[in-house]
Amino acid sequence: MGVHRLIKEEEKRLLLFLFEQVGVSEKQYPLTGLVDEYEGGKMGSISFSLDGEATYAGDLIQVDYTDTDGTEIVITLTHDTENQLLDLDFWKVDFSALITYPQPENVIVKKY
């Protein structure tokens, strides 16, 4: 994995909003102080599995966001087989860099 860093306030704010949407709490999925950035932070994706050993178990929630350049982004919060947070994954459809980090009021929650 990459270099560990502290979770940013904007990331925590988005995560807490996503938790609220699916009816879970920080007590169920503690937000560790450290995360790893994918691709050096280019698209905004982070991993909570600092040892890289976790196994994907499913999505908790998926939301849509439109970056300030008009490009669509799909944001997915996943968990692992140990029921711990795994990734907050950003997929910008043209693979370009994230310009503006999404605020909760700017995302559209997908219905499962």
Which structure tokens are listed for 41?
A: 């932070």
pLDDT, tens digit (0-9, with 9 covering 90-100), for 66-93 = 999 999 999 999 999 999 999 999 999 9
**pTM assigned to the model:** 0.92
One-letter amino acid at 80 equals D
Q: Which of 48, 44, 43, 45 is nearest to 4 (CA)?
A: 48
Q: What is Dmax (Cα atoms) for the chain? A: 37
pLDDT tens for the chain, 112 residues: list them.
567 899 999 999 999 999 999 999 999 998 878 999 988 778 899 999 877 788 999 999 999 999 999 999 999 999 999 999 999 999 999 999 999 999 999 999 986 5
